[in-house]
Chain A
Amino acid sequence: MTKLLEIRDVTLESNGRKRIDSINISINHGDKIALLGKSGAGKTTLLKIINGSIKPTVGEVIFNGKNITNASNNQRRQIGSLWQDLRLIDELTVGQNVNCGALGRRGIGWAIANLFGIIEYQECLSCLDTVELSSDFINVNIQELSSGQKKRVAIARLIRQESKLIVADEPLSNLDPSLCTSILNMLLKKQSIKGINIPDSCIISLHRPDLINKFNRVIGIKAGQIIIDTENPSISSSIIKNLYS
């Protein structure tokens, strides 16, 4: 498999403490990675380093052969992020928020037009359809949605971005079990739907070791260091225990 992203000897220090400590990871096309670790282990920080929103103190992140910290807008949009706090724009409608995912491929005029109403209606609708959200929601304001619906909109925006790698930070937090499976299936879908390409590579942080069998690779992080990196999703309970101790 070809390399998509490479994390080379990355360290991040803040307030005299190493939050990420000499991490090396290679992500290949087709990798579906579950990132495990207890709260404060460095999962979110690592994901932010991967998507380029945090610059590491030492080391570099190479995406498609280029350093992500100096990446152009077009290169940056190849990595799609699903943020833990979703980061949807409260003042906009569902459709307008979904369209924000396409901003990297469009101009200023398009951005202004998006504030006036839904443009590229069909594409927007397809994204909503992918996340199993009815077209009735397209003109509904974001603030009127439940937390599960908001999460679906954020995924629809991510799909609209047409990236090559999905970086998702705890997308299953605060969701009921049936919704967890549904959201995870959306993120791990393989085929393109109605002309929209869903990335075949992802790294998703989780607090649910019971769901790792849906992934083809598991990375465990503890105190900023990688302690597990395996392509065998059947990890023993003692390793999981150690990871969360």
Chain B
Amino acid sequence: MLTLLPIITIIPIVIQCIQGLHLGGLNTLWNFLLSALTPSLSNDVVATCLHGLQITFAYAIISWLISISAGLILAFLSSYSINKIIGIPEIFTNIIRGILTLPRATHELIWGLLLLQIFGLAPWIAITAISIPYSSLMARVFAEQIDKIDLSNAIALKQVGSSKLQILISTFLPKLIPIVGIYGSYRLECAIRGATLLGVFGLGGIGTEMQLSILSLKFNEMWTSIWMLFISILILEKILEFLQKPTLYIKNIGIYTLTSIILLSCSFGLSLIWLNGLGVNLFQQINVYLFKLPSLTNLLSALIVLPWAKLLSETILLMILASGIAIGLPPLLLMILPNQFCANIFSVLWIFCRLIPTPLTTMLLLLSINPSISVAALALGIQNMGVLGRLLKQNIDKQDNKLYTAILATGSKPQLAWLYGKNVLTKQ
């Protein structure tokens, strides 16, 4: 039941949204939804969207590959288990982990805006802005997963007389590769979303196209972008699902690893060529726009002027409300309609939720609801619901149905059998 509890946050959100509702904008919102059925198919629009989509994908692939490589190196440096085997002091691991906290905690959008401020508009900024937080994020996840690996195999191989490097190769590598495959591929979709979001802020790609369409209220054109992104994500999801199948690596982990390294290296090179072909020059001259740093007096006065308590409390409230929707709604929907057909419909819904960048969802909501924390929470919650809904479905799909069918066999309603029989609480 604890998993469903956060959904109560929807009550204050709904109340505040109803209070701020203005009917004038509902018509525009309805037009937006209706345009989903009639996306623009004109050659110009399709060509522009396709061009933007390719740029977004190339940005995402390059930044993802950089993040995966850097993340793995940083994971080795920040893993307690590996450093214990090599004989590096724990303080070194703690220092690396501490350093990685800042880049991880700062959103790619903030990195993008910061880099834009210093270097001006340049294509490499999108890649760097995504790579910085994703590298440290992957480093943390990989390091945690490495530290979860049972050391008994390593001890056994030490007894065989293996060197430290042999122990790492023979025990850690085979266990790490599937983890990198699963989590790494999940991050590719995140990188695509990150690249789309940065596009909204002028860094090119499909995000820029979506932003321009919504500003000129050309919803049909916006839906061309959304549908293209949707189809691409759907295809990508299927490819990644196939590549994660244990049957691929269980027979020969070495060949699987080597093939993956070759494929990823080729993808990196091809993406660079691809971007160049699309007219994006990543290696253009770097300009630096230095700005005068504020003096200590100015910083202190800003510290006093800004209403920190209000800002912090609003941010926390926003986080709680958005998390409530994201965590509570997917299991609730799956529980109310516990059948495969509805689960598939929800999967499609999750894709749409996470595809549309939060700033654009906010703009759409603001067409008919006055600005408030609830609108921001709703927009943020919708996107995160898409992300968590996908993870929840993946985890549920991996579970067997034994417990569910056992409870169902007692004569229980499917909804209750789902609630008790699916291990939602621990898996989400």
List B contacts of A87 (CB < 8 A): 152-153, 155-156
B161 touches A103 (CB 8 A): yes
Which of B157, B251, B257 gathers the greatest number of chain A CB atoms within 10 Å?
Answer: B157
**A76: CB under 8 A from chain B?**
yes
Contact status A116-B255, CB under 8 Å: yes
Number of CB contacts from chain A to chain B under 8 A: 100
Evaluate whether A53 and B159 lie within 8 angstroms (CB atoms) in the complex, with A92-B253, A117-B252 already known: yes
A74 CB contacts on chain B under 8 angstroms: 161
Q: Is there a chain A Cβ closer than 8 Å to B160's Cβ?
A: yes
Chain B interface residue number, banded: 20 to 34
Contact A81 to B170, CB < 8 A, known contacts A91-B250, A92-B253, A141-B251: no
- B interface secondary structure, majority: helix
Binds A, one of B94-102, B172-180, B230-238: B172-180
- How many chain A residues touch B (CB < 8 A): the figure is 40
Determine whether the beta carbon of A93 is less than 8 Å from that of B152. no
Q: Which of A104-112, A127-135, A145-153, A197-205 contacts B (4 or more CB under 8 A)?
A: A104-112
A243 to B98, CA, bound (A): 53
Distance in angstroms between the alpha carbons of A59 and B170 in the assembled complex: 33
Bits for B219-263, please: 1 = Cβ < 8 Å to A, else 0: 000000000000000000000000000000111111101100000
- Tell me which residues from 55 to 70 in chain A have a Cβ below 8 Å from any Cβ of chain B: none
Instruction: Knowing A111-B170, A115-B170, say if A76 contacts B258 (CB, 8 Å).
Output: no
User: Shortest beta-carbon distance, A217 to chain B, in Å?
Assistant: 23
Q: Which of A83, A85, A91, A112 has the most CB of B within 10 A?
A: A91
A139 touches B251 (CB 8 A): yes
Contact B169 A112 (CB under 8 A): yes
Return chain A residues, CB-CB under 8 Å to B405: none
The docked-state distance in angstroms from the alpha carbon of A104 to that of B167 is 10
Check: A89 CB closer than 8 A to any chain B CB. Answer: yes
Check A115–B155 contact: CB distance below 8 A. Answer: no
Mask of A83-124 contacts with B, CB within 8 angstroms, 1/0: 101011111110000001111111010011111110000000
Does B394 count as interface, using CB distance less than 8 angstroms?
Answer: no
Alpha-carbon separation in the docked complex, A157 to B254 (Å): 20
Does any Cβ of B come within 8 Å of A41's Cβ? no
Q: How far is the CA of A157 from the CA of B160 in the complex (A)?
A: 9
Residues of B in contact with A (beta carbons under 8 Å apart): 152-153, 155-163, 165-166, 169-171, 173-175, 177-178, 249-255, 257-258
**Known contacts A75-B161, A90-B175, then 11 further A-B pairs from the complex at CB < 8 Å, ordered by chain A residue:** A76-B161, A77-B161, A81-B159, A89-B174, A91-B249, A103-B161, A108-B169, A111-B166, A112-B169, A116-B258, A141-B251
